[in-house]
Amino acid sequence: MKIAQTPKPPYYAVIFTSEAADLDESYHKMSDLMVSLAERQDGYLGLESSRTDIGITVSYWRDLDCIMKWKENTKHRSAQQLGRERWYENYTIRICRVEREYSK
Amino acid sequence: MKIAQTPKPPYYAVIFTSEAADLDESYHKMSDLMVSLAERQDGYLGLESSRTDIGITVSYWRDLDCIMKWKENTKHRSAQQLGRERWYENYTIRICRVEREYSK
């Protein structure tokens, strides 16, 4: 996992923060599958993810329409339902407009 | 660490993603100090942080002016300099306007 190489702002970020209930093997398989599907979605710009006691996954997108299309993706919807029911105790999703970016 | 309890959008997020060079004990002390200072800044709304091979820290703020004041905080500026010189191989900072939020 590296820092995502994103274009000049503005673009969009989805910050997904979770407190996990039970991240079993089925979770990790699904997580890998969702990343590979997201990468093929129109407007996908990159993804960053880490987990200690909470998990933070940030995905980057060209615009809000691309985010909504990914949210409605059929396979992604099944994964979202499993996430709510099985894997996540709590989560928060924040949809953000990235206005400035700077790097070392 | 829990999911940050943030107000109804809009508000702002600073996504700090890093690839670490050497996170020694001095880093962890400084990190704890910066969190305690940030918590006392005007407009601070919360913070989420995790690290595996990359580190992701997201801090939440009332508005851009609060973010700029925290960036210019004298002790924070010293920490930023040490971060650039000693602890971080690469990092990216993204300043975002949070437009929507939903939770389980």
Looking at chain B, list the stretches that DSSP marks H as alpha helix, in order from N- to C-terminal side.
25-39, 64-72, 74-82
The number of C-alpha atoms within 13 Å of A62 and in the hemisphere containing its C-beta is 10
Other Cβ atoms less than 10 A from the Cβ of A48: the count is 23
Give dist(CA B56, CA A56) in Å, integer: 7
Distance, CA of A98 to CA of A10 (rounded, Å): 5
Q: Does pLDDT of B80 surpass 90?
A: yes
Residue of A4, A52, A59 lying closest to B31 (CA atoms)? A52
What's the confidence (pLDDT) of residue A67? Answer: 97
**Residue B21 has what pLDDT?**
81
Amino acid code (one letter) for B50: S
Residues paired with A93 in a beta bridge:
A16, B102
Q: With CA atoms as reference, report the closest residue to A6 among A62, A51, A56, A55.
A: A62
- Interval B27-60: pLDDT, tens: 999 999 999 999 999 999 999 999 998 999 999 9
This prediction has a pTM of: 0.96
Contacting residues of A for B48, CB less than 8 Å apart: 17, 54, 56
Determine the distance in angstroms separating the CA of B96 from the nearest CA of chain A, rounded to an integer: 4
Taking CB atoms and an 8 Å limit, are A96 and B92 in contact across chains? no
User: pLDDT > 70: what percent of chain B?
Assistant: 100
Does B91 contact A101 at a Cβ distance shorter than 8 Å? Answer: no
Sign for the CA dihedral angle at A32, A33, A35, A36 comes to positive
Q: What is the three-class DSSP state of B67?
A: helix
Q: What's the confidence (pLDDT) of residue B91?
A: 96
Give the C-alpha separation, A31 to A29, whole Å: 5
Sort out which chain B residues have CB atoms less than 8 A from A2's CB and list them. Answer: 19, 54
Q: Looking at the predicted structure, is the pLDDT value of residue B88 above 90?
A: yes
* Residues contacting residue A68 through CB under 8 Å, at least 6 positions apart: none
Residue A1's pLDDT is 85
Quickly tell me which residue has 């690839």 as its tokens.
B19
Q: Give the ipTM.
A: 0.95
Whether residue B9 has pLDDT greater than 90: yes
Searching chain A, which residue's CA lies closest to the CA of residue B92?
A: A103
Query: How many CB atoms neighbour CB B66 within 10 A?
Result: 18
Distance between CA A47 and CA B58 in Å, rounded? 15
Interface test with A, best of B16, B17, B49, B84 (most A CBs within 10 A): B17
For residue B53, give the 3-state DSSP assignment.
coil
